[in-house]
A = this chain, B = another copy of it.
């Protein structure tokens, strides 16, 4: 029953917010007049109202209204009643903390598993995995747990970035960080480059967007996976 889009980024270089995804979203949310927006990740610290207005501006182009979850008295009921749900990017530590504090992590997971169309971008995509442990974000707040929605059976690294071979910077590359994760964890991690997304329909998971994705599995060499590959067996 699942109906999910898990996008690496909301915005690609040179485009406006959600622009590259709008054709896809028109189909994805075709039965929705209004979608529920979860603005908890607050990119650059903007307010829930400001962030919701930004999402509303993009969805207006495909004639869908947007209402922020913070506008509802009962966040759990808002999720259960939603025609469609979108969680935007920002800081994953903040997003996860807020989902727990508002006691909706589990309801959101169940609702998505039951088929309510869901869109995640960036942090909103990272939370679709088993844990938020492959976020690139700074730990600006201490969440009660790193466990997330688990609507897919692996983890996401959003904004996946190939190593810059000309760099003189000694900080770890993304690949080094993901390998460190696999020194202590066995969960597969899919690195989604900006412009890529996963389409989840029932139990079929497909890579979309015209780019390769990079798959990291513990104790194995990282693999490039072609666009349009069915990765439903990954776990």
Contacts and interface: CB of A to CB of B under 8 A. Distances in A.
Interface of A: 9, 11-14, 42-45, 90-91, 93-94, 132-142, 145-146, 159, 161, 168-172, 176-185, 194
Given A133-B140, A169-B194, 16 more contacts: A13-B170, A44-B180, A45-B180, A90-B180, A91-B180, A94-B184, A132-B139, A133-B138, A133-B139, A135-B138, A135-B139, A138-B180, A140-B180, A140-B181, A140-B184, A141-B184
A147 to B, nearest CB: 9
Contact of A170 (B11, B180, B183): B11
A31 B168 CA distance: 35
B170 A138 contact: no
Nearest to A91: B180
A114 B93 CA distance: 35
Contacts of A183: 42, 44-45, 140
B142 A170 contact: no
Contacts of A135: 138-139
Nearest to A46: B183
A197 to B, nearest CB: 14
Contact of A194 (B94, B170, B194): B170
A148 B40 CA distance: 27
A90 B171 CA distance: 10
Given A42-B183, A141-B184, A136 B171 contact: yes
A161 B170 contact: no
A221 to B, nearest CB: 15
A179 B137 CA distance: 12
A233 to B, nearest CB: 25
Given A132-B139, A138-B133, A171 B180 contact: no
